[in-house]
Amino acid sequence: MVSSAAPSAELGKVTGSVPGPRPKTRRAVRRPRPVIPGFGLTLGYTMLYLSLIILIPLSATFIRSLDSGWGHFWAVVTAPRVVASLRLSFGAALLAAAVNAVFGLVIAWVLVRYRFPFKRLIDAMVDLPFALPTAVAGIALTALYAPNGWLGRALQPLGIHVAFTPLGVVIALIFIGLPFVVRTLQPVLEELDREVEQAAATLGASEWQTFARVILPALWPAMLTGFALAFARAVGEYGSVIFIAGNMPMKSEIAPLLIITKLEQYDYSGATAIAVVMLVLSFALMLGINALQSWASTRHGAA
C-alpha cells in the first residue's frame, strides 16, 4: 500500500506551492535618535537659564514695586508727570514704528529690486544704528537738529522745532528702529516669486492692484514682525533720546528717564512701579501685534 504523503509532497514540488505564512514576530520600534542628546538635561538647563535671566528678575520687579503698599503704587503710576512720560514713550514708539514700517518697506524694496551705484554701501549703512552707540547717535542728532545745527537752522524759519521737543524723540526712535524693519523685509522680498506679479499683469491688473492684492498680503506678516521689533526697541530707548528730548517734565520727559530719576532719589519702589506699568503695557501691545501677525499669516496661507 502506497502512502498518500509521498504523492502530496511530489505534487507540491510540481505545482510549486509554498508552505503557509510564518507567524509574524513583533520587532521593537526604534525611536529616531535626537540631534541633541539628553533632552531632560537640556530642558532643565533651558528652564534654569530662562528663570535666572527673565522670570526671577521680572518677578522681583513686581514684588519690589509693592514694597510700600498698593496705595503708594497707585499714587506713583497715576501721577500726572508719570502719565505724561508714559504717554510720550509709548506714543512716540508707536509712531516711530509705524513710520519705519512704511519707509522701511520702501528702502527694502529699492535694495532688493533695483541695481544702482554704491548699493552695497547704502545697504551697509542701514545697519549703522546697530553698531553706533546710542549716546553717540543722540549727540549727533542733537547737533544736527539743534537751532544752530545744519538742519535745525533751516527748519527754524519754517516754525519747525525738532530738538528738545517730542518731535525730536520720534526722530531718534525712527533712527534706531529702521534696521529692524528693513532687515525683516529683505529676505521675504528676495524670495517673493516674480512670476506671480507677471501673471497678475497678464490678467490685466495695474501696478497698484498688483502691489495691493499680490505683494502686500505676502509682506504683511514680515511687516508686522518688523513693526513689533522696532516698537520693542523704541519703547525703552534711553541713550539716543536723552540728549535730543530736552527732558522737560510734562512735555519731553520719557519714562526711562523718570525711572532713572527715581533711582537717583532712592525711590526704588516708585521706580519699579513705573517699570511694571511699562512692562505690562508693552506685553499687552506685543501680544496684540503677535495675534494680528498670526491672523495675517493664516489669512495669507488660506488665500
In this prediction, residue 31 carries a pLDDT of 62
**Is residue 44 scored above 80 in pLDDT?**
yes
**Is residue 66 scored above 60 in pLDDT?**
yes
Q: Are 235 and 282 in contact (CB under 8 A)?
A: yes
HSE value, Cβ hemisphere, 13 Å, CA-based, for 170: 16
The residue ranking higher by pLDDT, 240 or 17, is 240
**Is residue 14 scored above 90 in pLDDT?**
no
In this prediction, residue 25 carries a pLDDT of 54
**Is residue 171 scored above 90 in pLDDT?**
yes
How far is Cα 162 from Cα 176, in angstroms, rounded to an integer? 17
Q: Are 253 and 245 in contact (CB under 8 A)?
A: yes
In this prediction, residue 11 carries a pLDDT of 42
DSSP string, 142-173: HHHHSTTSHHHHHHGGGT---TTSHHHHHHHH
How far is Cα 46 from Cα 53, in angstroms, rounded to an integer? 11
pLDDT band of residue 291 (cuts 50, 70, 90) is confident
pLDDT band of residue 198 (cuts 50, 70, 90) is confident
In this prediction, residue 29 carries a pLDDT of 56
- What mean pLDDT comes out for the span 234-263? 90
Cβ atoms within 10 Å, residue 206: 10
**Is residue 107 scored above 50 in pLDDT?**
yes
In this prediction, residue 32 carries a pLDDT of 62
In this prediction, residue 94 carries a pLDDT of 94
| Extents of the domains making up the chain | 76-302
In this prediction, residue 3 carries a pLDDT of 47
pLDDT band of residue 27 (cuts 50, 70, 90) is low
Q: pLDDT tens, 72-95?
A: 899 999 999 999 999 999 999 999
- What mean pLDDT comes out for the span 66-77? 89
In this prediction, residue 7 carries a pLDDT of 47
pLDDT band of residue 1 (cuts 50, 70, 90) is very low
Topology annotation, domain 76-302: MetI-like fold (1.10.3720)
- The segment with the largest mean pLDDT, out of 62-66, 104-108, 112-116, 153-157, is 104-108
Percent of the chain with pLDDT over 70: 85
Of residues 51, 77, 52, the one with CA closest to residue 280 = 77
- What mean pLDDT comes out for the span 274-285? 91
In this prediction, residue 35 carries a pLDDT of 62
**Is residue 134 scored above 70 in pLDDT?**
yes
Give me the residue label for grid cell 519754517: 158
Give me the residue label for grid cell 503677535: 290
Q: What is the mean pLDDT of the chain?
A: 84
- The segment with the largest mean pLDDT, out of 53-62, 91-100, 216-225, is 91-100
The residue ranking higher by pLDDT, 27 or 137, is 137
How far is Cα 174 from Cα 160, in angstroms, rounded to an integer? 18
In this prediction, residue 303 carries a pLDDT of 58
